[in-house]
Structure 1
């Protein structure tokens, strides 16, 4: 299912001719992927959602979603973003509804699971945030980064993500005091 999602996103991006706009939307794509990766880093010992596959390892699935699916999704979303306010609101609503539909299917088929109080309501908020922040990132990057930091810290507190001694093991080990 995860590979199918990537294939569908590639085909839809080809049909929309969105790859021509990749340089324009790259900062927003990188922003969304970075915060997706940050989730996996900050919550590595306390995941609230994750992907499963019978055929792919968890690491491959995460790389697939962080570096391919998320950027392709954001690119497709931003490529056809309408210019009038009324159309923009409906556009965001449509994308959130479509994303929720695919999330429900992924959850029902067992390729996506929830833990520790995460549910479809939280996913709905995450999609709204992802789509709005991705759109506004190009115009107001500092503001969006500050809002992202605030919402990330809030989520860590709401879900009581433990920060332990071993938290810095991994990529940040180089910066640890010896």
Structure 2
């Protein structure tokens, strides 16, 4: 129930504080986010680093839960995060903004984990998630400003994670 309630909550926040008038501006970054998550699910189909078990999740399996997150959380998050990004502010203000979003996302994940609705596997843990958030969230901003640079950085990051966690991609 928690992820459904959180999804409704972030969608309402996006409705209130997101930039719906210019949603097309953010669509390439939404696609980038979803595509890389789909790739994660494809590469780790038989070797998931985390999963959303059912039960306790209301949705019937990991895939439907992940699709819910992709199509509700990600667009909502991006419509708020990129629109409200403190452009032209000091570096300290931008770092604080990114850290605030990473902390918010981390709290959501901690709640999911504590409720058994997100389970870590194959050496992944909350520390890896926190580190990943500190990379992922700025990468979304980078993609919004310079998509080619974001793709160029995303590929080696993905390869590193696949190798580090010994994901059997070619098996």
Matches within 5 A, 1:109-124: 109-124=115-130
Q: Do structure 1's residue 30 and structure 2's residue 31 form an aligned pair?
A: yes
Partner of 1:82: 86
Which of 139, 146, 158 aligns to 1:133? It is 139
Partners of 1:99 and 1:87 in 2: CA distance: 18
Q: Which runs of 5+ in 2 are unaligned?
A: none
> Per the alignment, do residues 21 and 86 of structure 1 end up closer, same or farther by CA in structure 2, a change over 3 Å counting?
farther
Partner of 1:44: 45
Measured on the aligned residues, the alpha-carbon RMSD in Å equals 1.3
Partners of 2:92 and 2:170 in 1: CA distance: 46
TM-score by length of 2: 0.91
Partners of 2:33 and 2:131 in 1: CA distance: 15
Matches within 5 A, 1:1-178: 1-54=2-55, 55-58=58-61, 59-83=63-87, 84=89, 85-165=91-171
Q: CA deviation at 1:68?
A: 2.1
Q: CA deviation at 1:67?
A: 2.2
Answer yes or no: is the 8 Å Cα contact 2:18–2:76 preserved in 1. no
> Per the alignment, do residues 46 and 9 of structure 1 end up closer, same or farther by CA in structure 2, a change over 3 Å counting?
same
Partner of 1:175: none
The structure whose Rg is larger is: 1
- Superposed structure 1 runs of 4+ greater than 3 Å apart: none
Answer yes or no: is the 8 Å Cα contact 1:74–1:131 preserved in 2. no
Partners of 1:2 and 1:57 in 2: CA distance: 13
Aligned pair count reads 165
